[in-house]
Amino acid sequence: MKTLYIAYGSNINLEQMQRRCSTARPVGNSFLKGFRLLFRGLDNGAVATIEKYARGAVPVMLWELEPADEDALDHYEGFPYLYRKEYLKIRHDSESLEAMVYIMNPGRRLGRPNPAYFKTIKDGYTHAGFDTRYLNEAVTASAELS
């Protein structure tokens, strides 16, 4: 059974996803409304997560995953210890769809991502045509709120 997956961090990067999940198929871009992007973990090693935020919107890439792809992502995301899975409604091509997303479990402080990880996400944003200000604002907010 295939899973519709919402990617917002490094998995928004097409090259990385093709290496990690060879049978995953990109479905398209969207925005996850009511959330914001933040980075949590050790400073200069923090990774992306999303949190509810009424005025927020997060650029996302939707993927169709085969079971083997989801297994690979579970391992990469540290499921269920680092990230949990949630199912959210998202709009795409004027349809309301339900899709799986990884959200970091509570308990990790805000911090800055390392430059290589940040570049992977930024390259994904650029390739998808997203405004990188969303990404830059997430880094600033994570640093200011920590």
* Mean model confidence pLDDT for the chain: 96
Reduce the DSSP state of residue 34 to 3 states and report it: strand
Average pLDDT of the residues in 54-65: 97
Please report whether residue 144 resides in a domain: no
* pLDDT(146) > 80: no
pLDDT value of position 123: 98
Please report whether residue 94 resides in a domain: yes
* pLDDT(19) > 90: yes
Please report whether residue 53 resides in a domain: yes
- 8 A C-beta contact, residue 2 and residue 25: no
Please report whether residue 54 resides in a domain: yes
pLDDT tens track for 74-119: 999 999 999 999 999 999 999 999 999 999 999 999 999 999 999 9
Please report whether residue 143 resides in a domain: no
Please report whether residue 89 resides in a domain: yes
**CATH (domain of 88):** 3.10.490.10
Please report whether residue 76 resides in a domain: yes
Number of structural domains, the chain? Answer: 1
Q: Is the dihedral of CA 80, 41, 39, 113 positive or negative?
A: negative
* pLDDT band of 145, cuts 50, 70, 90: confident
State which residues form the domain around 25: 3-136
Please report whether residue 145 resides in a domain: no
